Amino acid sequence: MRERLFTPGPTQIPERVQVAMSNPLVHHRGSEFKKIFKEVIENLKYFFQTDGDVITLTASGTGAMEACVVNILSKNDRVLTVSGGKFGERWGQLCQTYGANVHIMEVPWGQAVDPSDIKSHLQKNPETAAVFLTHSETSTGVAADIKSIAEVVRNHSDTLLVVDAITSAGVLPFKMQEWGIDVAITGSQKGLMCPPGLAAVALNDRAWQKIKASDIPKFYFDLLKEKKAQENMTSAWTPGITLFMGLREALKMIREEGLETLWQGYELLAHATREAVKAVGLELFAQSPSNSLTAVTLPESIDGVKFKRHLREKYGITVAGGQAALKGKIIRIAHMGYYDTLDMVLMISALELGLADFGWEFKHGEGVFTIQNIFMQNQK
């Protein structure tokens, strides 16, 4: 039985990327790697839509989050973190770990933060050094209105906006420089269509000014060291060389397709998936859904842990389950990265088969009909 991955990280990897990663190793201080490194950095700037610096780290997305905190903040800085899911919570935990004075703005899971709430907080707390939040909350499938939030934060010139764009960059419209976002991060295993292990931090000049004044100790995640090394087209420490080879190829594919085209494509996949889910009588968990993934609320009669296992063992389909309080209550279906219309038709077909196995009553084939119909209506 063929295994198919529909998790919101890691996502499926294109053959072109796999082949690129199978090439012989090169030395990370040699001229060949410098060519790879330069190409990756140039294309990451396009990926983030910025002319500013992009620093790469051999780390997970959480490593990039920690790098932001330890480089941008100084001890006792006042910060605002937005917590509307597992990864929004992580911003607060990281900032508290490094001695920041943290105000956590709690948002009910499944809902997006209201930009006016951030505006109100900043008006009352103009000394806030930075706002940390998640654009696409992977644990709930919610997308924040990051463009409006950036506009709010820009009106407080000393406050930096730091965005976890791990499951949004390359998938949702994201224009870092145009919108005035100071720092953005992503990981290799999401919209970049690579295995886990690389992270990228994009920064503007305002962020670098804050970094130079930071008094928090750091070593491996010292972005000033990385910036200096990058001037010589290399990294401060030994990088994931094969991952860089794969990332160069993935970024080539993204440039060939074009970001606008990709954004539109993911919007279609997301819309069709959501409509198909509703067609079989299920509800969406997110009130403001992300185009990166669809979080599906399961009926009380279906145990999400068992259902997820059943899809994998009987049909070879791996989806993600709920986290923390949502464990067993939702499943999360990815449509970011290397997926197309037929992938999502297959996913909905497997979902229908699994639901029928668990005794859920619905009109069989309605989900598949719905998703196919949407795709046919949008054929070019």
Instruction: Report pLDDT digits (tens) over 358-378.
Output: 999 999 999 999 999 999 999
Dihedral, CA of residue 308, residue 311, residue 317 and residue 322, to nearest 10: -10
Query: For the segment 177-225, what is each residue's pLDDT rounded down to a tens digit?
Result: 999 999 999 999 999 999 999 999 999 999 999 999 999 999 999 999 9
Whether residue 157 is predicted with pLDDT greater than 90 in this model: the reply is: no
- Burial class of residue 192, CB neighbours in 10 A (0-12, 13-18, 19+): buried
Residue 156: predicted pLDDT: 80
Q: Coil, strand or helix: which one is 112?
A: coil
What mean pLDDT do residues 139-159 have?
95
Same domain, 272 and 253: no
pLDDT grade for 380, boundaries at 50, 70 and 90 = low
Q: What is the pLDDT of residue 267?
A: 98
Determine how β-strand 130-134 pairs with β-strand 160-164.
Answer: parallel
How far apart CA 315 and CA 308 sit, in angstroms, is 10
- As a dihedral over the C-alpha atoms of residue 96, residue 100, residue 106, residue 107, rounded to 10 degrees, the angle is -100
For residue 95, what pLDDT is reported?
A: 98
Q: How many independent structural domains does the chain possess?
A: 2
Tokens representing 199 are 């992270």
Task: State whether 149 and 135 are in the same domain.
Answer: yes
* 213-235 per-position pLDDT tens digit: 999 999 999 999 999 999 999 99
Residue-averaged pLDDT of the chain: 97
pLDDT tier at 164 (50, 70, 90 boundaries)? very high
pLDDT at residue 149 in the model: 98
Q: Mark whether 236 and 369 lie in a shared domain.
A: no
Band of the pLDDT at 379, cuts 50, 70, 90?
Answer: confident
Beta-carbon contacts of residue 300 (< 8 Å; ≥ 6 apart): none
In Å, how far from its chain's centre is CA 93? 19
Of 257, 289, 312, which residue sits at a domain end?
A: 257
Asked whether residue 149 falls in the same domain as residue 251, the answer is yes
Q: How confident is the model at residue 342 (pLDDT cuts 50, 70, 90)?
A: very high
Do residues 235 and 273 share a domain?
no
Query: Residues 296, 322: one domain?
Result: yes
Do 141 and 245 lie in one domain? The reply is yes
Same domain as 220, residue 230: yes
Which of these three, 202, 235, 257, is where a domain ends? 257
| 96 and 152 inside one domain | yes
284 and 215 inside one domain: no
Of 257, 282, 306, the one marking the end of a domain is 257
Residue 294, helix vs strand vs coil: strand
CATH number of the domain where residue 357 is located: 3.90.1150.10
| Rounded-to-integer distance, Cα 76 and Cα 91, Å | 16
Q: What is the pLDDT of residue 265?
A: 98
Tens digit of pLDDT for each residue in 55-95? 999 999 999 999 999 999 999 999 999 999 999 999 999 99
Co-location of 241 and 265 in the same domain = no
Token match 């924040």: residue? 144
How far separated are the first and last CA of the chain, in Å rounded?
Answer: 33
- 320 lies in which domain range? 4-8+259-377
Distances (CA, A) of 34 to 19, 224, 318, 353: 20, 19, 37, 49
Please tell me the predicted confidence (pLDDT) of residue 1: 86
Burial of 340 (0-12, 13-18, 19+ CB in 10 A): exposed
Average pLDDT over residues 34-45: 98
Tokens 């330069």 label which residue?
Answer: 38
Q: Do residues 186 and 64 make contact, with C-beta atoms less than 8 angstroms apart?
A: yes
User: DSSP code of 325?
Assistant: G
85: tokens are 């899911």
CATH at residue 179: 3.40.640.10
Q: Could you give the angle at which helices 61-72 and 223-230 cross, rounded to 10 degrees?
A: 100
pLDDT in the model for residue 374: 98
Instruction: Identify which of 66, 87, 49 has the alpha carbon closest to the alpha carbon of residue 180.
Output: 49
Residue % of the chain over a pLDDT of 90: 98
What confidence tens digit (pLDDT) does each residue in 94-133 have? 999 999 999 999 999 999 999 999 999 999 999 999 999 9
Q: Tokens standing for 308? A: 């997820």
Q: Are residues 19 and 165 in the same domain?
A: yes
